[in-house]
Structure 1
Amino acid sequence: MKANHAETPESSNAADKLKWLIAIVLLAAAVVGNSFYGETVSVVIRSAGVIVLIAAALGIAAITVKGKEAVSFAREARMEIRKVIWPTRQETVQTTLIVLAVCVVMALALWGIDGIMVRLVAFATGV
C-alpha cells in the first residue's frame, strides 16, 4: 500500500473540517428525518430520502483528505482481492469435513477426560 504523509495546509484542514461537519449533519438529518416522518410519510419515500442523504454524506466525505485515502485504500484492497486464489468447492468441502471431524474427536476426548475427573473427585471426596 502507498504511504502519503504530506502535510496539508491549514486552509485545506479547515475545509476538510467543514466537509466532515456537513457529512455528519447530513447523516443526522437522515436519522432524524426518518424517525420524525415515520408515521406520516411512506416507507418508500423515507427510504429513498435516507439513501440520498447517506450517498451525499459519503460523497462529501470522499472528497476530504482522509476520504481520498480511504477510497484509494479500497481500490488497492479490491485489486489485492482479485489476486487471491480461492479454494475449489472440493477443497472447501474437504477442509470443512476435516475441521468437523477434529471437533468431534476433541469433544469426545474432553467429555471422556471430564467423566474420569468427576469419578476421581467423587472417589477422593467419598461422594
Structure 2
Amino acid sequence: MRTSTNSENQEAKGSLDKVKWIFFILLVAFIVWGNFYFSEPNAIYEPNTVVRLVGVIAISALALFIVLTTTKGKIFINFAKESRIELRKVVWPTRKETTQTTVLVAVITIVVGLCLWGLDAMFSWGVSGLTVLGH
C-alpha cells in the first residue's frame, strides 16, 4: 500500500484552490452580468431593486466564503486577526492632546505661510526693482 506524500497533498490542495478561484471569478462575473441585465428596462424579467440587492449580497457572500476557504484566504484571515490584536495595543491620544496638536499644526502652518509670503514679496520687489533699473 502506498501512502500519499506531503507534496501530493499540496498539489491536490493547490488544484482545489484553483477550482475555487475559478468558481469565485465566475460568481463575480455572474453578479456583474445579472445586475447589469436585470437593471435594463427591456429585460424579460425585471425584479425590483430589493430582490436584485438581496441576490447580489447572497451571491457575494457565497463568493467570499469560497475565497476565504482557499490557502490565500486563510492567510488573509490570519493577517486580519493579527492586525486586530495589534490595533488593540495602540495607545490613542486623549481629546486634549489631539486638540493641542491640531492647534499647533494650524499655527505653524500659518506662520510658515506668512514667512513664505514675505519672502515672495521681497523677491518680487527686488526683481521688479532690478528690471525697472534696466530701462
TM-score (structure 2 length as normaliser): 0.82
* 2:52 alignment partner, one of 46, 51, 75: 46
CA deviations 1:89-122 (Å, max 9, x no partner) are 1111111111111111111111111111111221
Number of equivalent positions: 122
After the TM superposition, list the runs of 4 or more consecutive aligned residues in structure 1 that deviate by more than 3 angstroms. Answer: none
- For 1:125 and 1:41, the matched residues in 2 are separated by 74
- For 1:49 and 1:120, the matched residues in 2 are separated by 70
CA deviations 1:46-82 (Å, max 9, x no partner) are 1111111111111100010010000000000001111
Query: How many percent of aligned residue pairs carry the same amino acid?
Result: 42
- For 2:82 and 2:113, the matched residues in 1 are separated by 42
Opposite residue 65 of structure 1, the aligned amino acid is T
Per chain length, whose mean CA-contact separation is higher, i.e. which structure has more relative contact order (CA < 8 Å, sep 6+)?
Answer: 1
- For 2:18 and 2:99, the matched residues in 1 are separated by 50
What does residue 112 of structure 2 align with?
Answer: 106
Structure 2: 5+ residue stretches without partners: 1-6, 41-45
Structure 1: 5+ residue stretches without partners: 1-6
Report 1:1-127 matches (<5 A). Answer: 9-39=10-40, 40-126=46-132
